[in-house]
């Protein structure tokens, strides 16, 4: 059952919607939601929401609501709370500095369970802070040793974004939002190899990435 979910998840990440797989998901997991782990429920919720929003999927399959996104999200908030990393807070503060007087929101709710790290609602602009967990580690000889060596963490920066990040981007785009990414490796290196102070370097980086001039 769970292998079926993983297979469907992988297909959807690649932008492939199979009516056969989606029908099997509904038939097999429709009555087993409570037995799924939280990460599996989250994966199913992403599949469900994408299939209900993406015209490409809607054209081939009418995906029913297996999980109430609002109720699920509220339950996760009560259980885990919403926590922001120091990296995320740092980026958010810098955006507020650049856009003084503009409404800038942190952990902004876009759609039911879908949060964005920093949002500028008036522009429908999301700024996502991509830490290491947003990437898949490339298993290549030149990077394999870096997995356990914090001194070589920069060797991992050419990794691929993971499925969750891909699907979140697609959902945000379907909802009419522009998404800008701030990778942790870029942010951490600002000010370390140029003549500007760290803060000046990071503010200029945001101006370029977000398009603030």
Residue 74 confidence (pLDDT): 67
Residue 150 confidence (pLDDT): 40
- Using 50 as the pLDDT threshold, list the residues of the chain that sit under it: 78, 141, 143-156
Residue 148 confidence (pLDDT): 41
Pick the closest to residue 91 from 117, 65, 55 (CA basis): 117
Q: Enumerate residues 6+ apart whose C-beta is below 8 A from 137.
A: 143, 147, 156, 159
Residues 115 and 108 sit within 8 Å (Cβ to Cβ): yes
Residue 151 confidence (pLDDT): 41
* Other beta carbons within 10 Å of 160: 12
């Amino acid at each position: 059952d769970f292998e079926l979910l993983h297979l469907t998840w992988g297909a959807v990440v690649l932008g492939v919607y199979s009516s056969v797989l989606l029908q099997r998901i509904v038939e097999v997991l429709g009555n087993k939601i409570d037995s799924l782990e939280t990460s599996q429920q989250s994966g199913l919720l992403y599949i469900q929401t994408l299939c209900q929003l993406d015209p490409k999927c809607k054209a081939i399959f009418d995906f029913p609501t297996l999980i109430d996104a609002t109720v699920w999200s509220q339950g996760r908030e009560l259980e885990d709370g919403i926590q922001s990393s120091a990296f995320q807070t740092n980026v958010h503060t810098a955006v507020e500095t650049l856009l003084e007087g503009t409404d800038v929101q942190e952990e902004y709710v876009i759609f039911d369970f879908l949060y964005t790290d920093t949002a500028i609602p008036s522009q429908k602009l999301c700024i996502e802070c991509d830490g290491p967990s947003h990437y898949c580690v490339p298993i290549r000889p030149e990077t394999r040793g870096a997995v356990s060596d914090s001194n070589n963490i920069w060797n991992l920066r050419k990794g691929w974004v993971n499925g969750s990040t891909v699907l979140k981007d697609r959902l945000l785009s379907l909802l009419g939002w522009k998404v800008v990414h701030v990778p942790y490796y870029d942010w951490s290196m600002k000010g370390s190899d140029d003549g500007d102070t760290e803060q000046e370097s990071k503010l200029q980086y945001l101006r370029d990435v977000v398009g603030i001039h």
